[in-house]
Structure 1
Amino acid sequence: MSRFVRIKSYPFIYIAWIFALFSLPYSCQSVPCNASNNSASNSKISCKEIWAYSAKQLRSHPVCMGNTVFLLKGNNVVALNMSNGKELWSRDLSSIIWNGTSYDHIFPRICYLSIKNGTNPQVLVSLSDKFSGYLIAFNPTSGKILWNYSSFASADAYASPRGQICSEPVVWRDRVIFRTYSGLTAVKLSDGKELWNVPFDASIRIPATPTSRPALDKKTIYFNSDFGLAYAFNPMNGSLIWRTITDGIDIKNSSGVRDVHITFSNCYPLVIDNRVLIADGLGNAYGLNKNNGAIVWKKKFNYIFRYFNIINKLYMLSDKGFYELNVNNGAVIHKYIFSDGFLSCKIIGKSVVLINMPRVTPGWQIFDIQRWAVVKTYNDFACTSISNSGKTIYLDGYIPSDETHTPRIRAYRISGL
């Protein structure tokens, strides 16, 4: 599932996404791959649906940990048994998030699920309404709420680092770090108490809001703003290390009154070796020096969805194809072009499961990286995202023939890879 978009701020993106999503045909049959796209059939690969779950008001991608699949459904965090899709527990968040306010009047603008594995695993749920953000930690086995943190915006949203939580929370050592509407915040993983919060530079008066997952290494946290800005911070205290402005943002007036042209990208940053990989909404891919943010290379593509590190090699998914790039200079090593484009993908072993862009042909494909070819194509579900645990994949989407367009989660087991 794509990130929830603030409708008032970006109505054109929301409408375009809905139009694309709800214009899908549906078929229940496997079909052969298109040979014109360098495809190669592999009869050894098979896929079997093992369960399906109807999820009205689904507000997050399914997230896997251990033997459990977690999701946000309406006001509830729900845990499903990974083997059969049965509900293990459900926790209503209404009293924490909305304090009794009618659900119809406060829309959860951004919904994330994040998992912390280790000796004390937690399920971290991030929600935001119009003005505030909430981060809640659960015990994944019982559903018990361990702690919750609220961030409330002040009258001047730029003067306060608190407000809507606008990035997926990430765990670094003993803390959880996340981006609010106008700043950066860290809370203790053990109890949710705030460690520090840092407002961003208010001299650029735009809500440069990264709505994606930040990247981490041992000493730095990296954000890629959806407005074409890239940041690096010290996760110990939130201090800014560097900031880079890409072609996705054009500040035309340097006298103090900004005339800002902005484009949007929700591509996650990725760190490989000495490079930070980011993208802007113009379809440009960037390789930055991770120590100072300097732009080392820039390459033009279509809209870029994700970067991937597979055995320390750089791969990129755009709305038109799947690429292997040289991390040092951005040169294209391999490319696979598909006329309908892709929406998301997941790495499984040495293969990639690609989710088709929902415009003409719904479904998903299994792509062999070593053969650089699609080896299996399925047109059995109009899906919008994918999660996996081993070789079992979990797709969320809907059946177009269902007039209610009820969101569903389907689990498939893949064999023969």
Structure 2
Amino acid sequence: MDPVIVDPRTWPYRRGVELSRFLFATRTPVPLPDKFHFTGALEAMGTGHSVDDVNWISVVVHQVVGGSGQGLRAARAVEQIARLGETPTLGVDRNTAPELQATWSVIEAVTPDETTAIPDPQAPAYSRTWAEDPLMRVIYGLRQLVRAERVGAQDLSAIPGYEQIMHPVLAYRGIGEQLLAGAEADARVLTTSFPEWGSPTIVALEHGNLSRDHVQTRPEASQSDLVLSKWLVDLELELPGVLWRERLIDARQQFHVEGRYDLAVILFATATEVLIDGVLQMLWWEKSLTDPQITAATVAEAFDSTKDSMARMKRHLNPLLGGDWSSSNGPVQRWTTQTWKLRHLCVHGGYYPTHAQTAAASKSSDEIANFLFDRLADKRTEFPRVCLQILAQSGLEKRKKWNGQIKRFAEQDAPNETNWNYSLKTFREKVEALRQ
């Protein structure tokens, strides 16, 4: 249907509307052409059939070519070291090679101040939905536009979310006019005219992802550092504890830095499943040291007969560690509902979770890990080697269980045994070889 052409100066039905205008840049370029313009409602976005007169946006993408991009910063950092500490000239030379220039996507957007949902006053601003906050409405609409373009163009650009928005965000306020279809109070809006914008204010963002340019380092890190050496060995041996931690860090990076809530949920679930299967194999490894009936072959068979980590946790890990695994509000059930099932929805249904859902998945993943560690600490006399491998002295001290038999074992018996790392790695390699 062709758009309605009206003369705002003579149109009889109108009302004032409070509007917000935002200007901000994204951390990575948006794959839309310069001056790309979209105006529409977020409900049934793109269809043109929405009757929602509040949750609409008008977005213009500006592609600005400038300097100080990552390539330029990297080249100048190398140059500075090559010159033995001389400070390179700052600024952008007009003759700078194109590959060292940067394209910044600047988003200009207008949306009503009005919202259709009330946010939780205790929740952070970045967890609000597009119906609760004008800026989040703009970000949601931009995200949907980029998702659609990425699919069509098979582009590899990042998906912009709150975490991708850079400081500063300029916000303007003004009273616009909506031209109405009739005299009724709820008459359908035809179009909105924007006001002359005054001076902007700066929106204080609540994310810290931009600090990635300023690396946080441990001053004590060196080749002889015990912490670094420990994790380096664990990575080489592919021990479960370090692999779980690595997936967990990946999940948090996707959540808090990249703003990819779908990938974060998948990785939170993956981290816990790595931990479940890893702890289970470690427990069976320790039992195999004294029980000849438990071998790599029997463990491989058990893993193949229970096809997923959830089933293995219920069938095998629960009996080995004991405790309450079935409480309706316990850590296992919360993880099952808030992470494991949500992961399936993301993987098999292509679902894009909300910030609140991702935060719940993160929390429940921490809770189930602590539950497993608590259960292992309670079983420290039955599985002293696994307990020391995973919890170590610090984890037992934290739980006030570094005493008695486990302390004597660690100080007197453990130093005389064959290196557990290589024994465990060999056992797990046999299991995986038999499974394949």
Which one has the bigger strand percentage? 1
TM (norm. structure 1) is: 0.19
More helix per residue: 2
TM-score (normalised: structure 2): 0.18
Q: Could you say which structure has the larger radius of gyration?
A: 2
